[in-house]
Each structure stands twice: as C-alpha cells, then as structure tokens.
Amino acid sequence: MKLAFSTLGVPGLPLSDVLGLATAHGYHGVELRAHPEEPVHPGLTPDERAAVAARFKTAGVELLGLAGYARVAAPGADDAVLAEIRGLLELARDLGAPYVRVFPGGGTEQSPDDADATAARRLGTAAEYATDLGVRILLETHDSHRTGADAMRVLGLVGHRQVGVLWDVMHTWLGGEQPSESYLALAPHLGYVQVKDIASADDTTPLPLGTGVLPLTEVVDVLSRHGWDGWLCWEYEKRWYESAAPLPDLLDGGREHLARLLSDAA
C-alpha cells in the first residue's frame, strides 16, 4: 500500500512546503483539501492549475485526490450541488487527480430513504460528467452515512463505476462497525482509506497514529488479508482542532507506525 497525508493537517501551508514535507518524510502522495482558504481550490486559473500539476511532477509526489465539501444528500435543489461537484471534477482533471471526495450531508428533516434517493440521483448525474473527465467521485463514510452499510445503500442505487467510496475509519468505528464489516460492504467500490487516531468517541481531537483507540491494526490486517494494495491517507484534522500538535512533527512517526502495521500484517 502507498501512504499519503491530507493537507487538512497543515491548513493554509503553501504547496511547495507541502510537497517538501511529503518528500522529506517518505510519503508517496498528498490529498489536497480543495477549499477557498487553501492554496488549491476550484477558483484557480488555467495557468495556476498547470503550475500545480507541474510542481507535483517535479517533486515526484502523487496527487491522490481532492477533498471537496459538496454534500450530495443535503436537502434542497440539485443545481448548486451538481455545479460544485462539476467544479471539483474539472479541477481534478486539470491537476491529474484520480479522485474527488464528496460528503453525504443528509439533513435531519429528511427520512433516510429520501436522503439516499437524493444522494443517488445527484451522484448518478455527476457520474456521467466524471466519466468524460476520467475522474472518480468518492462518497466518504461521514456524517449522515458514516458506516459502510450506510454508504452502500446509496452506491447500490447509483450503480456506476465512476462513483465509489472513501473509507474514513473513524466514522465507521463511531457508527459501530467492525473493520471486517466495513471492508465487506465497501470493497467492491473502495477508492482509498483515510486513517487517523483519536482518544475516544467523546474526544475526537487528532492524535499521533497508534496512540489512540481507533482499530488501525485491524483495518490494515483486513486490507492486507484481502490483497488490497491501494492508498492509506492520514487525515489529521488540525484545521478543526487548533490545539492539536503540529502535523509536520508527527509525520515520521506516522509513516513508521503504518509501515510497522503493514509489515506485521504481511
């Protein structure tokens, strides 16, 4: 498996510094948080997009994907959500990123069936555009659809190869799923896996990998046992927890911990 980290852990850091961290600490790739407060976002000009792609190529670092914030199950009209996804897909195409992350974002005023149908309708429409651009949309296990079983209710309705799933191991754990259950549900559609660590279900402040309660050993074991050879991406949520330790100081330890888990699983 290849290792990446998310720029959610280094909010606002210039891209050159992000790529420097990846090469200095032995990470194969980077997931970019695609938000207006970050250096890379859908508002970039064509020249700026070309420059980003060139920087990744020069650094020898892979761009794993763009972490967007479109909420596909959210109540309301489809147009704005689809336009947001389209902007992310076009940016991914221009940068050479294979994946775009979207959230479920279902509202409490909806029934689960309505939220599933809304998400599936929007993803099915967006999938046709994604096909033309050669980018895959990944629905993250998150918020209203935090377990593998939740996500698969939507993907089963979509039934399109350009729509898959991003497994956030914290949310499936918070939803009560064991890693083996999550993998069984998600495997046919799995894009990549986000790893992280926290102190407890009540305290989700990010911790160094291996120092919290999340079942990272079990996650790596089940992936290895089934011969999965994709990406593990460390999503350290520094942006939402200012008191958390700086990610750059933790990158070596995180890589070493994941390498140990991979070695033990092999």
138, β-bridge pairs:
101, 164
Distance, first Cα to last Cα, the chain = 11
Q: How far is CA 232 from CA 19, 196, 261, in A?
A: 17, 10, 12
Q: Which amino acid is at 124?
A: G
How long is the chain? Answer: 266
Tokens of 237: 């949520």
When pLDDT is averaged across residues 94-121 and rounded to a whole number, the result is 96
Q: What is the mean pLDDT of the chain?
A: 97
Tokens of 7: 């720029």
Distance between CA atoms of residues 69 and 91, nearest Å: 14
Strands (E), the chain: 2-6, 29-33, 62-71, 99-103, 136-140, 163-168, 190-195, 231-234
CB atoms within 10 A of CB 26: 12
Tokens of 136: 């895959």
Residue holding tokens 């948080």? 33
What was the pLDDT predicted at 119? 98
The tens digit of pLDDT for each residue in 10-38 reads 999 999 999 999 999 999 999 999 999 99
Provide φ and ψ at 148, rounded to 5°.
Answer: -60, -40
Distance between CA atoms of residues 106 and 119, nearest Å: 8
Distance between CA atoms of residues 202 and 71, nearest Å: 24
The tens digit of pLDDT for each residue in 238-266 reads 999 999 999 999 999 999 999 999 999 98
Residue holding tokens 């991003």? 166
What was the pLDDT predicted at 193? 98
The tens digit of pLDDT for each residue in 140-184 reads 999 999 999 999 999 999 999 999 999 999 999 999 999 999 999
What was the pLDDT predicted at 12? 97
What was the pLDDT predicted at 234? 98
Distance between CA atoms of residues 78 and 265, nearest Å: 44
CB atoms within 10 A of CB 47: 7
pTM score over 0.85:
yes
